[in-house]
Amino acid sequence: MRFVVRRLGFFVLTLWAAVTLNFLIPRLMPGNAAIAMMSRYKGHIQPQALHAIEVAFGVNTHESLVHAYFTYLGNIARLRFGISLTFFPDQVTHQVLQALPWTLALVGITTILAFVLGTFIGLISGWRRGGMLDGTLPPLFVITSAFPYFWIGLLAIWLFSIKLGWLPESGGYDVQTNVAWSWSFVSDALTHAVLPAFTILITAIGGWILTMRNNMISVLAEDYVRMARAKGLSSWRIMWTYAGRNAILPNLAGFAMSLGFVVSGAILVEYVFNYPGVGWMFLQSVENQDYALMQALFLLLTVAVLVAILAADGATAVLDPRTRDRS
């Protein structure tokens, strides 16, 4: 019980700190949103528009920082994030909810897939050190993980969409398809997700393989594994319940973190493939000094990471009795 209370207390404290920083940091940046919008249009709108935009955006309204902070806390408690200036005059919530499913589906599924596959490959290759699998997959994926992501992305586009023409090179779906829950739309969206997913997978998997393999090797040297062998247990049982269960523990926290970061999207993926997720929205909101959007996205990210860590703590407690309270 004390364990749960302590964890929850820590969660609330971190959340408050994050929310406060989230409020302060954007306001320390120079410039204002109206100028940011003018610069986005590279002279395509008249210079006299600046005044109109300032009036519309309500900048230069000299609200005191303290007052703004409490209004902000109140709004967050009620999940009201206000109007986005990047997507003026649309609601922040509406914009984020539009982009989030694309990111969750693409980055979320590939993150889980990379973890599961990576852990599995790491487990097997650690178990059979020097075997056929151990000699090929870990080195290969470590190499692919070492490449810069955008380079792999551009290479994949060049090979699979430009040279071979098998897959679309950009976007979340074909622009001439109607958006609906129909087979043609879903299959089109899946086709568009193949290349980004493939490139994320091969660049993310190496880390999981390597850590899992190394954990496995050190766990295999433990006395309790020798004991299990001496007892004459089947190697299958030793691999999974003795070695695997202990080797996965350090990876769990890392996995939880990366699951949390899924909601921040993958800026490079979305940039290279013109994918409509939240990663690009993040960058846009910062560039356009869109406090409202920035705060909503950062809050989402913080909460997701904190919740994921809380969940990982829980999972660790289940898998590893040593971390539980003595009481």
Instruction: Scan residues 96-135 and list those touching other proteins (CB under 8 A).
Output: 98-99, 132, 135
Residues between 215 and 234 with contacts to other proteins, criterion CB under 8 A: none
- Residue 323 DSSP one-character state: G
Token pair in block for residue 306? 């904190």
CA angle (138, 144, 148) in 5-degree steps: 145
Residues between 298 and 327 with contacts to other proteins, criterion CB under 8 A: none
Residues between 265 and 294 with contacts to other proteins, criterion CB under 8 A: 270-274, 276, 280-281, 284, 287-289
**Residue 135 CB, nearest approach to other proteins (Å):** 6
Alpha-carbon distances, residue 34 vs 52, 119, 201 (angstroms): 9, 48, 40
Is the CB of 75 or the CB of 177 nearer to other proteins? 177
Is the CB of 143 or the CB of 227 nearer to other proteins? 143
Token pair in block for residue 128? 């059979």
Q: Which listed residue (176, 221, 236, 322) binds other proteins by CB under 8 A?
A: 176
Closest by CA to 90, choosing from 294, 293, 297, 288, is 293
Is the CB of 162 or the CB of 221 nearer to other proteins? 162
Is the CB of 149 or the CB of 280 nearer to other proteins? 280
Alpha-carbon distances, residue 255 vs 211, 212, 225, 318, 327 (angstroms): 12, 12, 25, 16, 29
Taking CB under 8 A as the rule, does residue 87 contact other proteins?
yes
Taking CB under 8 A as the rule, does residue 255 contact other proteins?
no
110 backbone dihedrals φ, ψ, rounded to 5°: -70, -30
- Any bridge partners for residue 91, and if so which? 83
- DSSP string over 57-73: HT-S----HHHHHHHHH
Is the CB of 170 or the CB of 218 nearer to other proteins? 170
**Residue 126 CB, nearest approach to other proteins (Å):** 18
**Residue 16 CB, nearest approach to other proteins (Å):** 30
Judged by CB under 8 A, which stretch of 6-14, 186-194, 204-212, 225-233 contacts other proteins? 186-194
Residues between 3 and 62 with contacts to other proteins, criterion CB under 8 A: 30-32, 35-53, 55-56
Taking CB under 8 A as the rule, does residue 90 contact other proteins?
yes
Q: Is the peptide bond before 276 cis (omega within 30 degrees of 0)?
A: no
Unique residue bearing structure tokens 């407690």: 317
> How far is Cα 127 from Cα 122, in angstroms, rounded to an integer?
8
Q: Which listed residue (168, 206, 207, 244) binds other proteins by CB under 8 A?
A: 168
* CA-based max dimension of the chain: 84
**Residue 154 CB, nearest approach to other proteins (Å):** 8
Taking CB under 8 A as the rule, does residue 140 contact other proteins?
yes
**Residue 45 CB, nearest approach to other proteins (Å):** 5
Q: Which listed residue (120, 198, 310, 320) binds other proteins by CB under 8 A?
A: 198
> How far is Cα 113 from Cα 197, in angstroms, rounded to an integer?
10
Sign of CA dihedral 222, 223, 227, 229: positive
Taking CB under 8 A as the rule, does residue 93 contact other proteins?
no
Taking CB under 8 A as the rule, does residue 200 contact other proteins?
no
- Residue 239 DSSP one-character state: I
